[in-house]
Amino acid sequence: TQLLEQSPQFLSIQEGENLTVYCNSSSVFSSLQWYRQEPGEGPVLLVTVVTGGEVKKLKRLTFQFGDARKDSSLHITAAQPGDTGLYLCFSGNTPLVFGKGTRLSVIA
């Protein structure tokens, strides 16, 4: 059983659509991080969420940390082909683990 369950595993959408991906756990976290990984490269940090109920925005990306600090979501508005990649969540406390990710493909 994965400590961090990400869903969906794969997502293919048209440019301009909105989408939400999820990172869920039965454990409580002091913080969660979201990374994006493009093919052939290492993951790059997008955001760190630390407070239950916190919402952070990064241009068209909106990140939310659940009130109980057990889950998080990433919403992308008006997706663009440049958003294509593997989106990973990472635990902020031990055990230090990544979810298996959501592989997003945005088609022009």
Partner 1 sequence: DAGVIQSPRHEVTEMGQEVTLRCKPISGHNSLFWYRQTMMRGLELLIYFNNNVPIDDSGMPEDRFSAKMPNASFSTLKIQPSEPRDSAVYFCASIGYSGTYGKQFFGPGTRLTVL
Query: Taking a C-beta distance cutoff of 8 angstroms, is the pair 58, 67 a contact?
Result: no
- Under the binding rule (CB under 8 A), the answer on residue 48 touching partner 1 is yes
Asked if residue 88 binds partner 1 (CB under 8 A), the reply is yes
* Tokens standing for residue 88: 């990973």
Structure token pair of residue 26: 């039965």
Q: Pick from 61, 98, 102, 106 the residue near partner 1 by CB under 8 A.
A: 98
Does 24 engage in binding with partner 1 (CB under 8 A)?
no
| Shortest CB 17 distance to partner 1, Å | 26
User: What's the distance, CA 36 to chain centroid?
Assistant: 8
Taking CB under 8 A as the binding criterion, the range among 19-27, 36-44, 63-71, 74-82 that sits at the site for partner 1 is 36-44
Cβ atoms of 28 and 68 within 8 Å: the answer is yes
